[in-house]
C-alpha cells in the first residue's frame, strides 16, 4: 500500500509556475538577503546616516523583518534567503508563518487591546508610543497580510520539498543547542559570579537569558522577551554563541536540499553517444558528455540532452546541449526544472555563444569564462615567422631523433595500449583536472576512435602521450596530455605540430586544444591602454597562476596562432555566481572535494572498487558502443556513394526554389586563363573572379569542403567555407547556402562560382568561394570507374585526343552526354564524348557551316551525321526524348553533328556497357 502511494505522488504533475509567481519569489529572496546584510551594518548606518537608518528600519518593519543589530539575525536571514532562492517550500512557510503571519496576529492583538482600552495611555507613553507608531502598526499588519496572501498564492514557485526524516534531526540539534546554552551559561556563571545564589536560581536566570535571545528576531520580541538576567557579559556571550551554533545547525539541517549521487548508466551513455554521432559534428566538447560522473537529462523528443553533475547544491552542466539544435531549448527547460524541483542552483560551464543564448532565453545570465584554442589545420604553417618557437622545437626534436606515431586507438595492439595507460597514470601530476574538456579516462575499450599521439626518443622509449576525442569525421579535441619527466622541453609541442601537419593529408579541418580560463584578463592587462583595474586583474591572475597554471595554459596554446573561441559561464542570478564558481573550482580540480571518500580510501584501500559497479567494463556494453559506431560509419559510407539519389537531389533543389538548370548571372573567366595569369603569384587582392565548370571531385565534412572544378580546359581547387558562404547568401538574399551545397551538390554538377584567389598551406592555387549557382544538375553518377575509364579512353585514343584538342582551341566546351540544355544557358558551342562517338552542338549555325568546319578537324576515316534542330518541338517529333525535353527550355536553332570514329580505335576505349547507368 505504501509503494502505491509513493508511485502516485511521483506521477502527480507539477503545476506550471506563472511569471508573477516567479517574480514574487525572487523579490522575497532579495528582501531577505537585504535584511540579513542590514542586520550587520545597522549600527554603522545609524551612526553615519540616522535618517536613512530610520527609513530602512521602517521599511523592514512593514514586512515584519528584524531591524536591530544581531549576528544571529543576520545568519538566520541569510540562510532563509538562500533557501527561498532555491525555492524550498519549507523556507516559504517559515518566512510566512514565523514573520508575516505572526506579525499579523500579534499586531491585531495589540490593536484590539489599544482600541478596547486594555492598554493604559501611561504604559504607551512610557514606551514612547505615538500616533505615528500606531499608523506603522496598522500599515505593517496590512502589508504583512498582503505578503502572506501573495506568497501563499505563489507557492507553486517553491516546489522543493525537505528531505524525509530531517525535521526530527533538526529538532534534536535545536533542543541540544538550547540545553547546551543553559548548561554552558550555568558553568560560566559559577566561574564568574560567587554571590549567594542557589543552583535553581542560576538555572532559572540562565533559562530566561537564553529565551530572551529571540527578542530581536520575533516580531514584538523586545516587548515579549524584555528580560535581562543582569549576569555579566561572559554569561550572555556564552549563551549567545552556543544558541547561535545550535540553531543555525538545526536550520541548515531542516532546509537542506536532497543530496544524492548523480552518475551515468549504460542505457544513458548509449543514448548520449548516439546523439553525438548524429549531431556532434561541430561541438568540440560533445564527446566529453560521455564522462561516467555525469548524468544526462533529455528533451521531450529525446533528440537533445544536457549532461550534469551535482557539486554541493550546484547542479553543474558543461558545454552546450548535445543533439538537435531545435531541441536544445526543451532539454534546457528539463534541466532547469530538475534544479528547481530539488532546490539546486543551476549552472553551466564552457558553453559556446550559441548555447549561452539558449540558456539566456531560459532565464539564466552569462559571463565570459575563458577561451578555447582551435587550430585551423588548412591554414597552419610552420613557415610562418610568428611560429619561430614551434619551428625551433621541431628542429630540436629532429636533432635528438624523436619519433612520433599517430594512430586510432583501435589500431594500437592491446599490450601496447596497456603500457600507454600505465604511463598516463604514472606521469599524472596530482588528481585529474578537467570537467568540461576531458573524458577523465584513457585506453577505455569504448574509445576506439580516439586519436592517440605518442612521442619516442632515439632509444624508442615513450616520452609523451596525447589523446584526442573525435569531433565528427574531420575534427579532433584534446583530451589527455602527458609527458615524461625526462622528456625534452617542447615534446608536447612536437606531438601537436606533427599531428597538425599529418592532419592536412588526412583532411582534418580543426583541432581543439586546451581551454584558457580568464584569458581576457591577461590580454586586457597587457595592452598599452590598460587601465588600473585591468592591470590589477592581471596581477591577481598571475599570482594564482603559480598554482593553477592559468597563464601558462594560455601561453602554451598561443604559439600555434589558434582561433580563440569564447566560452561562457551561465548562472541563475548574481547571488548564485559565487556558488557556481566554487562548484566549477571543485569540478576542475582546483578546490578539494569528496574529502570523506578520500579518508575512507586511506583506511580502506579497496573502498572505491567495492562500492562502484563498473558497468562500462561489461562486454555487452562495449559491444553495443562498437555496434552504433559501425552503424554510423556504414550510413556515412552509403551517403558518400550517392547510390541512385541524384534524382532526389534534383527534386530537393526544386523544392528549395533553386533551379536545377539556369543561366549564368554574370560573365565568367576560363580556368585556363585564370591559371596563366596567377600561377606564379603569391599575394592576391580581394578581386572577385567568376568561373564555371563541372565538379570532378569533392572532399571534406563539417564546416569546410574542398572540390576540384574543371571547365575541360583546366582545373582549379575550390575552398568552400560555411561561414563565408552563409554570410554572402544572407547579405545577397540567396537560397544557395552552405547547407544546400553540402547536401545537394555532387560530383558531376556544373556550377558557377564567385570568389577570391588564395593559396593553401601546400601552395596550391585555389578559389575561396563566396557564392555559387547551379547551372546544370547531373542525373548520372560520375563514379570513380567511369572517371578513370573515360579519362583513359580520351588519353589513349589518338584520334579522339586530336579532335578534342581542336574543338577546345576553337572555343568549344566539353559537357556531359547530350547536354542540350547547355545551349539554353548561353553556350553556343559544346561537345561531348560518349560510346566512341562525339556529339557536337553549334547554335545559330547551318549544317553546311558545321560540315565545312569539321572537314578541317576530322579525317576521312570518320563519318558524320548532321541534323538541323529548330526550337519548335513540332518540327522534331522524331527526336530523342532528351532532345524533346530540352526543347521545352527554349533552345535556339542549332546544328547537331554525330561524329563516329572508325572501328579500329574501339579497342582502346571503354566497354559501352560501363558507360550506361
Which carries the bigger pLDDT value, residue 330 or residue 779?
330
Q: For 412-416, 540-544, 743-747, which range has the lowest pLDDT when averaged over its residues?
A: 540-544
Question: Which of the two residues, 94 and 256, has the higher pLDDT score?
Answer: 94
Q: How far apart are CA 104 and CA 849, in angstroms?
A: 109
| pTM score, whole prediction | 0.57
Q: What are the backbone angles phi and psi of residue 342, rounded to the nearest 5°?
A: -110, 5
Whole-number pLDDT of residue 317: 92
| 3-state secondary structure at position 455 | strand
Question: Residue 882 and residue 822: Cα distance in Å, rounded?
Answer: 13
Q: Which of 175-179, 403-407, 612-616 has the lowest mean pLDDT?
A: 612-616
* Res. 297: pLDDT tops 90: yes
Give the separation between CA 724 and CA 5, rounded to whole angstroms. 59
* Rounded CA separation 517/373 (Å): 11
Q: Return d(Cα 117, Cα 119) in angstroms, integer.
A: 5
CB atoms within 10 A of CB 345: 25
Digit-coded pLDDT (tens) for 725-772: 999 998 888 889 998 998 889 888 888 999 999 988 778 899 999 999
DSSP string, 541-556: HHHHHHHH-HHHHHHH
Q: Answer yes or no: is pLDDT of 300 > 60.
A: yes
Residues facing 370 on adjacent strands: 517, 567
Helix (H) or strand (E) holding 531: none
Distance, CA of 448 to CA of 470 (rounded, Å): 10
Which residues make beta-bridge pairs with 456? Answer: 403, 462
pLDDT of residue 351 exceeding 80, the answer is: yes
CA distance 52 to 46: 7
Q: Are 318 and 294 in contact (CB under 8 A)?
A: yes
Least confident of 190-194, 512-516, 621-625, 891-895: 190-194
pLDDT at 909 over 50: no
Residue 26: pLDDT over 80: yes
Main-chain dihedrals φ then ψ at residue 47, nearest 5 degrees: -75, -40
Residues 6 or more apart whose Cβ sits within 8 Å of residue 727: none
- Of the CA atoms within 13 Å of residue 860, those in its CB half-sphere come to 0
Written as one string, the DSSP assignment of 198-250 is -HHHHHHHHHHHHHGGGGGTSTTHHHHS-------HHHHHHHHHHHHHHHHHH
State the residue for C-alpha cell 560510346: 835
The C-alpha torsion from 116 through 121 and 125 to 126, rounded to 10°, is -100
| Percent of the chain residues topping a pLDDT of 90 | 17
The three three-digit cell numbers of residue 577, written as one number: 555566481
For strands 689-699 and 704-710, give the pairing.
antiparallel
Q: Mean pLDDT, to the nearest integer, of 877-904?
A: 67
Shortest CA distance to 476 belongs to which of 447, 495, 499?
499
| Amino acid 842: pLDDT | 87
Angle between helices 353-361 and 328-342 (to 10 degrees): 60
366-403 pLDDT, tens digit per residue, is 988 878 889 899 888 888 888 888 899 999 999 999 99
- What secondary structure does DSSP assign to 852-900, as a single string? HHHTTTS-TTSEEEEEEE-S-GGGGTTS-HHHHHHHTT-PPPEEEEEEE
Helix (H) or strand (E) run with residue 481 in it: strand 475-483
Please state, in angstroms and as integers, the Cα–Cα distance from residue 577 to each residue in 347, 349, 353, 672, 836, following that order. 8, 11, 18, 61, 75
pLDDT at 127 over 60: no
Least confident among 514-528, 643-657, 725-739, 795-809 = 514-528
C-alpha cell at 333: 527547460
Q: What are phi and psi of 398, to 5 degrees?
A: -65, -40
Residues whose CB falls within 8 Å of the CB of residue 332, separated by 6 or more in sequence, listed in order: 306, 321, 358, 359, 362
Q: Cell digits for 347?
A: 549552472
Query: Count of CB atoms within 10 A of residue 829's CB?
Result: 18
Contacts of 604 (CB under 8 A, 6+ apart): 610
How far is residue 551's CA from residue 613's CA, in Å, rounded to a whole number? Answer: 39
3-state helix, strand, coil in the chain (%, to 5): 50, 20, 30
What pLDDT, on the 0 to 100 scale, is given for residue 520? 63
For residue 117, report the phi and psi dihedrals to the nearest 5 degrees: 80, 20
CA distance 743 to 626: 27
Amino acid at each position: 500500500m505504501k509503494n502505491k502511494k509513493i508511485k502516485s505522488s511521483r506521477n502527480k504533475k507539477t503545476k506550471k509556475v506563472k511569471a508573477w509567481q516567479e517574480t514574487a519569489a525572487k523579490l522575497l529572496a532579495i528582501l531577505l538577503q537585504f535584511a540579513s546584510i542590514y542586520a550587520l551594518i545597522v549600527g554603522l548606518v545609524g551612526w553615519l546616516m540616522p535618517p536613512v537608518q530610520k527609513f530602512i528600519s521602517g521599511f523592514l518593519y512593514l514586512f515584519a523583518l528584524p531591524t536591530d543589530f544581531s549576528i544571529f539575525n543576520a545568519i538566520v536571514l541569510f540562510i532563509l534567503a538562500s533557501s527561498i532562492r532555491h525555492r524550498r517550500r519549507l523556507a516559504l512557510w517559515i518566512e510566512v508563518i514565523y514573520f508575516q503571519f505572526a506579525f499579523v496576529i500579534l499586531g491585531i492583538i495589540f490593536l484590539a487591546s489599544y482600541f478596547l482600552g486594555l492598554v493604559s495611555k501611561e504604559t504607551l507613553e512610557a514606551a514612547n508610543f505615538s500616533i505615528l507608531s500606531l499608523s506603522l502598526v496598522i500599515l505593517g499588519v496590512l502589508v504583512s497580510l498582503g505578503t502572506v496572501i501573495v506568497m501563499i498564492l505563489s507557492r507553486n514557485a517553491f516546489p522543493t520539498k525537505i528531505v524525509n526524516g530531517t525535521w526530527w534531526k533538526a529538532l534534536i540539534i535545536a533542543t541540544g543547542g538550547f540545553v547546551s546554552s543553559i548548561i554552558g551559561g550555568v558553568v560560566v556563571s559559577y566561574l564568574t559570579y560567587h554571590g549567594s545564589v542557589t543552583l535553581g536560581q542560576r538555572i532559572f536566570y540562565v533559562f530566561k537569558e537564553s529565551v530572551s535571545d529571540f527578542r530581536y528576531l520575533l516580531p514584538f520580541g523586545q516587548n515579549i522577551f524584555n528580560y535581562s538576567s543582569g549576569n555579566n557579559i561572559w554569561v550572555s556571550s556564552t549563551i549567545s554563541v552556543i544558541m547561535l551554533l545550535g540553531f543555525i545547525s538545526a536550520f541548515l539541517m531542516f532546509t537542506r536540499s536532497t543530496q544524492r549521487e548523480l552518475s551515468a548508466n549504460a542505457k544513458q551513455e548509449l543514448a548520449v553517444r548516439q546523439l553525438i554521432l548524429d549531431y556532434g559534428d561541430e561541438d568540440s566538447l560533445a564527446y566529453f558528455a560521455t564522462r561516467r560522473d555525469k548524468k544526462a537529462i533529455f528533451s521531450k523528443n529525446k533528440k537533445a540532452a544536457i549532461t550534469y553533475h551535482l557539486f554541493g547544491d550546484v547542479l553543474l552542466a558543461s558545454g552546450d546541449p548535445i543533439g538537435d539544435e531545435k531541441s536544445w531549448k526543451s532539454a534546457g527547460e528539463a534541466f532547469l526544472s530538475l534544479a528547481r524541483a530539488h532546490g539546486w542552483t543551476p549552472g553551466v560551464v564552457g558553453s559556446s555563444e550559441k548555447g549561452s543564448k539558449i540558456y539566456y532565453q531560459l532565464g539564466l545570465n552569462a559571463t565570459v569564462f575563458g577561451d578555447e584554442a582551435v587550430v585551423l589545420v588548412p591554414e597552419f604553417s610552420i613557415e610562418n615567422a610568428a611560429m619561430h618557437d614551434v619551428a625551433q622545437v621541431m628542429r630540436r626534436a629532429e636533432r635528438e631523433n624523436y619519433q612520433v606515431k599517430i594512430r586510432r586507438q583501435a589500431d594500437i595492439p592491446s599490450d601496447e595500449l596497456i603500457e600507454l595507460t600505465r604511463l598516463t597514470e604514472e606521469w599524472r601530476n596530482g588528481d585529474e583536472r578537467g570537467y568540461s574538456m576531458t573524458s577523465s579516462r584513457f585506453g577505455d575499450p569504448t574509445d576506439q576512435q580516439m586519436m592517440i599521439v605518442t612521442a619516442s626518443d632515439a632509444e624508442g622509449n615513450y616520452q609523451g602521450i596525447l589523446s584526442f576525442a573525435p569531433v565528427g569525421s574531420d575534427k579532433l579535441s584534446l583530451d589527455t596530455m602527458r609527458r615524461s619527466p625526462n622528456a625534452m622541453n617542447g615534446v608536447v609541442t612536437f606531438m601537436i605540430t606533427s599531428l597538425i601537419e599529418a592532419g592536412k593529408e588526412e583532411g582534418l579541418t580543426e583541432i581543439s586544444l586546451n581551454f584558457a580560463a580568464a584569458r581576457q584578463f591577461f590580454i586586457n592587462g597587457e595592452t598599452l591602454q590598460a587601465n588600473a583595474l585591468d592591470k590589477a586583474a592581471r596581477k591577481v591572475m598571475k599570482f594564482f597562476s603559480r598554482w593553477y597554471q592559468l597563464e601558462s595554459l594560455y601561453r602554451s596554446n598561443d604559439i600555434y596562432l589558434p582561433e580563440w573561441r569564447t566560452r561562457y559561464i551561465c548562472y541563475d542570478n548574481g547571488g548564485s555566481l559565487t556558488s557556481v564558481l566554487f562548484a566549477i573550482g571543485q569540478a576542475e580540480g582546483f578546490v578539494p572535494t569528496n574529502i570523506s571518500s578520500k579518508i575512507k580510501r586511506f583506511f580502506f584501500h579497496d573502498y572505491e572498487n567495492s562500492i562502484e559497479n563498473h558497468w562500462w567494463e561489461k562486454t555487452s556494453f562495449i559491444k553495443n558502443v562498437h555496434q552504433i559506431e559501425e552503424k554510423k560509419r556504414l550510413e556515412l559510407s552509403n551517403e558518400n556513394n550517392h547510390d541512385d539519389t541524384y534524382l532526389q537531389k534534383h527534386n530537393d533543389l526544386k523544392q528549395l526554389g533553386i533551379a536545377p538548370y539556369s543561366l549564368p548571372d554574370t560573365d565568367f573567366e576560363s580556368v585556363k586563363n585564370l591559371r596563366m595569369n596567377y600561377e606564379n603569384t603569391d599575394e592576391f587582392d580581394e578581386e572577385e573572379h567568376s568561373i564555371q565548370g563541372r565538379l570532378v571531385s569533392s572532399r571534406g565534412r563539417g564546416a569546410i569542403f574542398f572540390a576540384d572544378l574543371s571547365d575541360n580546359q583546366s582545373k582549379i581547387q575550390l575552398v568552400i567555407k560555411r561561414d563565408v558562404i552563409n554570410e554572402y547568401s544572407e547579405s545577397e538574399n540567396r537560397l544557395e547556402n552552405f547547407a544546400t551545397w553540402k547536401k545537394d551538390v555532387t560530383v558531376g554538377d556544373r556550377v558557377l562560382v564567385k570568389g577570391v584567389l588564395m593559396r593553401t598551406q601546400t601552395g596550391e592555387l585555389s578559389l575561396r568561394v563566396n557564392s555559387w549557382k547551379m547551372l546544370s544538375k547531373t542525373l548520372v553518377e560520375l563514379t570513380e570507374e567511369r572517371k578513370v575509364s573515360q579519362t583513359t579512353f580520351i588519353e589513349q585514343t589518338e584520334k579522339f585526343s586530336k579532335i578534342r584538342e581542336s574543338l577546345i582551341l576553337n572555343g568549344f566546351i566539353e559537357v556531359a552526354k547530350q547536354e542540350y540544355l547547355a545551349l539554353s544557358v548561353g553556350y553556343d558551342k559544346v561537345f561531348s564524348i560518349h560510346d566512341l562517338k562525339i556529339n557536337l552542338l553549334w547554335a545559330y549555325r547551318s549544317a553546311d557551316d558545321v560540315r565545312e568546319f569539321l572537314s578541317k578537324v576530322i579525317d576521312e576515316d570518320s563519318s558524320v551525321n548532321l541534323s538541323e534542330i529548330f526550337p519548335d518541338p513540332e518540327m522534331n517529333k522524331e527526336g530523342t526524348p532528351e532532345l524533346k525535353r530540352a526543347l521545352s527550355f527554349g533552345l535556339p536553332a542549332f546544328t547537331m553533328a554525330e561524329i563516329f570514329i572508325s572501328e579500329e580505335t574501339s579497342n582502346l576505349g571503354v566497354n559501352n556497357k560501363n558507360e550506361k547507368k
